[in-house]
Structure 1
Amino acid sequence: MRSTLSRYILLAKRWAWVIILGMVICGGTTYLVTKLLMQPVYEAQTRLLITLAGTSQNDSTVAAIAQQPTFNQLITNPNVLSPVAAKHNMTLKQLSGMVKTQPGTNTPIIDILVDSSDPQLAAQLSREVARSFTDYANTRLGSQANFNIIDPVVPTDPVRPRPSQDSLIGALVGLGLALAIIVIFEWIDDRLTAPEEVNKLLGIDALTIIPELSRKQRSRNAEETPELAEGCRILCANLNMAQMLRPFKLVMVTSSMAGEGKSTIAANMASFLAMSGKRVLLVDADLRHPVLDQHFQLNNQKGLSNAFLEMWAQVEMELDGQPTEIPSLRVLTAGVLPSNPSELLQSQLASQLFNHFRNTPKFDYVIFDTPPLLPIADAQIMAAYMQVTILVVDASHTPRKAMVRAKQALNRTGTRILGVALNKSNWPEFGQVHDYLSNIQSRPRADIAMSMPPNTPPVNHAIDATNTAILPSANNKR
């Protein structure tokens, strides 16, 4: 029940602009059309009171009510309307379209209603139709009834259009159209609607859920954004637990398509792992569009590509990467971009390179930020060398079909898929997370310096262990 309600809240937030836009456009257009383009129509009303002579008042009323339907139909008879139409140089069809009758309920009264854009003409026509019918009934029908004509009042307010009422109806029509559009798009929508769908769709768990960040939040460090920081810490905790159960070192972070935030997830995960005391090497393995050198403000002249372009003996010592402000985190940038990365990754040298990373005793984790899986072959080639893979999914945009294709591609490589990191989530559960984090942040804290485990000195010997980390801030990058 709660998940269903949360989904409806999410749908309301996602499509509120469509509903508002539909109501504003339809309601506003209706108002302008009725106000500026449509000619006002006035309605005049003349009343005929039917009485019968020679009977008691009660009998007269009953008899008049009994004859009322007949008189009501005769008012619009051509013999009644023709003299009035001829007098005003109108056709019988024109006048018939302007006249209608309305018999009273349980009363000997018939209302003759005439619509016209001229209120004076409407009143005159309704009066003349009433008199023409009275003459016709008395002379042609020989009716014993008496007809008392109650003259009309010249109308001052039009019966149509009524811009205010019409615009409200237009807004309701816009609401209906908007809801129809939402139903159609939701029916054909191929995106996730809840975190639980990950396991049902892919058969793997969601390791963490990171919410969509506002522009202001994206400009801050990760530690200054509690939702992002805690999402990354949960991801690191799941990674550490998985490593304890089944040891591994090489971790690939990828996504099915570009723009899902995999590079930022990889950088933040590596940073938080390092701050927890792990020795981490973060490798920018995207040899087509690297970004980690910009994240950490590092020199990209030498990096991973040098292992392919230079002699192995010359680059082996350089594969430890460059130091960062986090003592136990080093970053190996992509280096000079080669023209044929896919071919290089399938060479014999690539196997030697990844064996080096797997066997190095200097790091607890070697995390690879790779290209997306579906557009190019690089990530699928590298996945064959990896021990575990984390698939980053943009919860708000990535189609289910793309996720399934990415999972199938990873299955063919033999890598172990550790789970999914759901990024840019708009699911409303994060309101509760934000409230909880806000409450605990108000309590006083004590700074406790993180010390390294025994016999495992920091890999960045030149940086003091008390330095504060400067983490990547945006979750909406690659």
Structure 2
Amino acid sequence: MEMNRGHRDEGTRPRYLVVDKQPHATVSEQFRTIRTNIMYSSVNRDIRSVLFTSDMASAGKSTVAANMAVAYAQAGKKTLLLDADLRRPTSHETFRVDNRTGLSTLIVNDIPLEEVIKATEFERLDLITSGPIPPNPAELLSAPKLDSIMLRLMTHYDMVIIDSPPVLSVTDGQLLSKNANGVIMVTNVENNNRERLNEAKDLLNKAGANIIGIVLNGRSPEYKKDNQYHYYQEPRAT
């Protein structure tokens, strides 16, 4: 599959991604731990696509998704980061690429998938940005065409990381969850609210999502220096 190299701002590089810039830091090890936990989270089937979402905005889910995509690529996995946040996209800013075409373009127009896949600075990591923000994100994400897009991506890549809008803000996360083998919720420790998390979890469960874990973002230094991310696997009923 030939991808579009995309336009990159001259003289710019991707924003700071800790897994790349500080590979030996504790926080980078936490991302690798999450990667391992995802690998063993299902005994029935391989996890080839993971959706990262949150209960509310500003939890850090886009940062976590971007770092996880880099972590998978570093492990030798052919990886794609899909920015499916069609309301407040960030991946084009993180990786310093243009956003003139992307997921919204692909769903609306009859164009080859390869035209919206952009190479990144990282070996084995490709990117599909959100594309222009549409007036009807939920309608686009519920289109049957997205199912065929995801099927092709999961056939071509070892791992597809999906960045989704917060669950309690809009319905997009619920719609997207059916196209992911697993869902991970990201929550900021300082603003963590059990009732909101349970409400978000209930909405995802109603959509048939396979919730495989929760990432606590922004843990304070007294837990462990540099330990900003921690993974808790979703308990399963017996």
Pair in the same fold by TM > 0.5: yes
What SS does the aligned partner of 2:218 have?
Answer: strand
Residue 244 of structure 1: how far off its partner (Å): 6.6
- The corresponding residue for 2:145 is 349
Q: Is the 8 A contact 2:174 2:209 kept in 1?
A: no
Measured in 1, the distance between the counterparts of 2:44 and 2:141 equals 30
Q: What RMSD in Å do the two structures reach over aligned CA positions? A: 2.3
Question: Could you state the TM-score of these two structures normalised by the residue count of structure 2?
Answer: 0.82
1:390 to 171, 184, 194: 184
1:384 counterpart letter in structure 2: K
Confirm or deny that 1:318 pairs with 2:120: no
Q: Is the 8 A contact 2:184 2:211 kept in 1?
A: yes
- The corresponding residue for 1:376 is 170
Q: Which runs of 5+ in 1 are unaligned?
A: 1-217, 435-473
Residue 245 of structure 1: how far off its partner (Å): 5.8
2:40 to 241, 264, 270: 241
Question: Could you state the TM-score of these two structures normalised by the residue count of structure 1?
Answer: 0.42
Q: Is the 8 A contact 1:250 1:357 kept in 2?
A: no
What SS does the aligned partner of 1:305 have?
Answer: helix
Measured in 2, the distance between the counterparts of 1:430 and 1:272 equals 21
- The corresponding residue for 1:15 is none
Q: Cα deviation per residue 1:17-59 (whole Å; 9 max; x = unaligned)?
A: xxxxxxxxxxxxxxxxxxxxxxxxxxxxxxxxxxxxxxxxxxx
Confirm or deny that 1:272 pairs with 2:66: no
> What are the equivalent positions in structure 2 for 1:168-183 lying under 5 Å apart?
none
Q: Is the 8 A contact 2:104 2:133 kept in 1?
A: yes
Q: Which has the higher contact order (CA 8 A, sep 6+)?
A: 2
Confirm or deny that 1:296 pairs with 2:95: yes
> What are the equivalent positions in structure 2 for 1:378-457 lying under 5 Å apart?
378-426=172-220, 428-431=222-225
Measured in 2, the distance between the counterparts of 1:347 and 1:315 equals 17
What SS does the aligned partner of 1:368 have?
Answer: strand
Measured in 1, the distance between the counterparts of 2:137 and 2:185 equals 21
- The corresponding residue for 1:212 is none
What SS does the aligned partner of 1:367 have?
Answer: strand
Measured in 1, the distance between the counterparts of 2:204 and 2:80 equals 23
Q: Is the 8 A contact 1:283 1:369 kept in 2?
A: yes
Residue 231 of structure 1: how far off its partner (Å): 1.4
What SS does the aligned partner of 1:392 have?
Answer: strand
Higher Cα Rg, which structure? 1
2:122 counterpart letter in structure 1: I
Confirm or deny that 1:260 pairs with 2:54: no
Change (3 A) 1:244 1:326: farther
Q: Cα deviation per residue 1:192-249 (whole Å; 9 max; x = unaligned)?
A: xxxxxxxxxxxxxxxxxxxxxxxxxx97744427132111111111122236763121
Q: Is the 8 A contact 2:18 2:67 kept in 1?
A: no
2:162 counterpart letter in structure 1: F
Q: Aligned residue pairs: how many?
A: 213
Measured in 1, the distance between the counterparts of 2:195 and 2:137 equals 27
1:237 counterpart letter in structure 2: T
2:36 counterpart letter in structure 1: A
Q: Cα deviation per residue 1:283-316 (whole Å; 9 max; x = unaligned)?
A: 00000110011101111111111122211xx232
Q: Is the 8 A contact 1:251 1:388 kept in 2?
A: yes
Q: Is the 8 A contact 1:282 1:369 kept in 2?
A: yes
2:148 counterpart letter in structure 1: Q
What SS does the aligned partner of 1:327 have?
Answer: coil
Measured in 1, the distance between the counterparts of 2:220 and 2:190 equals 7
Measured in 2, the distance between the counterparts of 1:337 and 1:389 equals 24
Q: Is the 8 A contact 1:280 1:364 kept in 2?
A: yes
1:308 to 85, 107, 114: 107
Measured in 1, the distance between the counterparts of 2:85 and 2:17 equals 25
Change (3 A) 1:317 1:244: farther
Measured in 1, the distance between the counterparts of 2:140 and 2:16 equals 37
Q: Cα deviation per residue 1:298-354 (whole Å; 9 max; x = unaligned)?
A: 11111111122211xx232235x2111211101111111111011111222223223
Residue 256 of structure 1: how far off its partner (Å): 0.4
Provide the identity percentage: 32
What SS does the aligned partner of 1:430 have?
Answer: coil
**Bigger helix share:** 1
Q: Is the 8 A contact 2:104 2:140 kept in 1?
A: no
